[in-house]
Amino acid sequence: MNHSEGRPSTVNALLELIALEYDGLSKRLKAIAHFIERDRDRIGLEGIVTLANRWEVSPSAIVRFAKQFGFAGFSEMQMVFREKIAREINPMMTDDVAAESSSAGTHANSMIQSIVGSIRSDIVDLDRLIRDLDHVALVRSVEMVANADAIWIAGARQSAGAAINLYCALQNTDKCVSFLSLHGDVWQGQVRSVRPGDVLIAFFCYPYVPGELQLALEARLRGAKLVIVADSLACPLVREAEVSLVVAEPLRFGFRGNTATIALAKGLFTATASHLKVSDQDLSSDGFSGS
């Protein structure tokens, strides 16, 4: 539906509205919704033609998306992103500057610049995580995990690293912790052991793996509570979960980082261990080691 009365005044308000109306969007507008959330740091800096080429959609489709959410056009929607980005460092600019400077100086210097630029971008991602994290949802997720009879963890593709790290770290507690494997549909046998009182922590990033979505829904049907760590409010399971934690990490050179997601996983473990009164002496070297 179009919003003739008012429009979102902040990026967060826009993203929340997108999540609310996501199911009713066309396939093309759903794709643009993902791009909007993923490239939020670019939208305030790049023109509509550049974004359309990057997203492989027509400029008119982006205008249609803007109007869908109450804006007069792309320029009015872009202003919301410009107001936000004026107070922040754009993580993509660091990479672009390093790439453009590769022709100047020695080859070694250009490599150093690229590495440093990438690290600085990760720092910006972590700052964004601290700023945007839902504290109420985080506290609730820790309480759910700490009080669970058994903990199940799942993650595929680029989310697998954070999921495996959390799985290894939670082995340091007295909780029964299991990793649900998506290889060869092994999860279909594993999920039969899920019981009411259990908690599933599932990590998702776009494009979402159908098997992982089915796994989470099956665990829910068997009585497990869901803690979803997703890259977008548009993730299909965000509204199905008891708790959803959204960590938006931008693509760089076609690769989605997971620095902030791993940091959040570490935070979940640290807070859960503290809640369970696990001391540093109880921790083995199998979990997080300060990374």
Residues carrying CATH 3.40.50.10490, the chain: 128-286
Residues carrying CATH 1.10.10.10, the chain: 1-90
- On the question of pLDDT at 58 being above 50, the answer is yes
Omega before 210 cis (within 30°)? no
- Could you identify the residue written with the tokens 């004026």? 86
Q: Please write the tens of the pLDDT for every residue from 72-82.
A: 999 899 888 88
Position 88 scores a pLDDT of 59
| Structure tokens given for 14 | 């826009």
Q: Could you tell me which of 206, 203, 151 has the C-alpha nearest to residue 182?
A: 203
- On the question of pLDDT at 134 being above 50, the answer is yes
* Under 8 Å between Cβ of 170 and 269: yes
How many Å apart are CA 174 and CA 276, to the nearest integer?
9
- Whole-angstrom CA distances from 51 to 46, 47, 204 are 7, 6, 25
Which residues touch 244 (CB under 8 Å, ≥6 apart)? 137, 227, 228, 229, 230, 233, 235, 237, 238
Q: Could you tell me which of 10, 91, 26, 57 has the C-alpha nearest to residue 253?
A: 91
Letter for the amino acid at 213? L
* Under 8 Å between Cβ of 233 and 185: no
Query: Is residue 9 very low, low, confident or very high in pLDDT (cuts 50, 70, 90)?
Result: confident
Paired strand residues for 102: none
CATH of 128-286, one of 3.60.70.12, 3.40.50.10490, 3.30.1490.20, 3.90.190.20: 3.40.50.10490
More confident residue, 151 or 42: 151
Strands (E) in the chain, as ranges, are: 150-155, 176-179, 199-204, 225-230, 243-246, 251-252, 255-256
Q: Are strands 199-204 and 225-230 parallel, antiparallel or unpaired?
A: parallel
Q: State the CATH architecture for 1-90.
A: Orthogonal Bundle (1.10)
* Under 8 Å between Cβ of 181 and 187: yes
% of the chain at pLDDT higher than 90: 33
Q: Which of 69-73, 102-106, 272-276 has the lowest mean pLDDT?
A: 102-106
| Structure tokens given for 211 | 């098997």
Residues in the chain: 291
DSSP 8-state secondary structure symbol assigned to residue 291:
-
Q: Could you tell me which of 182, 177, 178, 179 has the C-alpha nearest to residue 156?
A: 182
Paired strand residues for 176: 150
pTM attached to this predicted model: 0.66
Phi, psi of 213 (to 5 degrees): -65, -45
* Under 8 Å between Cβ of 263 and 126: yes
By CB atoms closer than 10 A (0-12, 13-18, 19+), residue 265 is: buried
How many Å apart are CA 212 and CA 8, to the nearest integer?
32
What strand order describes the sheet that includes 225-230?
Answer: 176-179, 150-155, 199-204, 225-230, 243-246
- On the question of pLDDT at 257 being above 50, the answer is yes
Which residues touch 100 (CB under 8 Å, ≥6 apart)? none
- On the question of pLDDT at 283 being above 70, the answer is no
Q: Averaged over 185-198, what is the pLDDT?
A: 85
* Under 8 Å between Cβ of 7 and 83: no
